[in-house]
């Protein structure tokens, strides 16, 4: 038996200085907070994927 209920998914790595990633990360925190009305693990997984896929220019953006 696995104690999956108490295991949080890996915290997504938001890109430094990216407002979109920061907003997604903040939503992710709420979605993984059991005391939060926005608590929703499957949504948290979606958000983590969205953060990991958010594109960033390697160099300075034009």
Give which of 47, 5, 6, 14 is closest to 30, Cα–Cα.
47
Residue in 2, 12, 15, 35 binding Zn ion, rule: CB under 5 A: 15
43: contact with Zn ion by CB under 5 A: no
Residue in 43, 47, 54, 60 binding Zn ion, rule: CB under 5 A: 54
What tokens appear for 54 in the block?
Answer: 């958010």
Residue in 21, 31, 44, 47 binding Zn ion, rule: CB under 5 A: 21
Residues lying near Zn ion in the complex (CB under 5 A) are found at 15, 18, 20-21, 54
């Amino acid at each position: 038996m696995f104690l999956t209920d108490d295991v949080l998914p890996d915290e997504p790595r938001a890109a430094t200085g990216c407002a979109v990633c920061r907003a997604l990360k903040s939503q992710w925190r709420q979605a993984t907070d059991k005391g939060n009305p926005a608590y929703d693990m499957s949504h948290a997984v979606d958000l983590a994927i969205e953060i990991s896929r958010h594109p960033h220019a390697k160099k300075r953006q034009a």
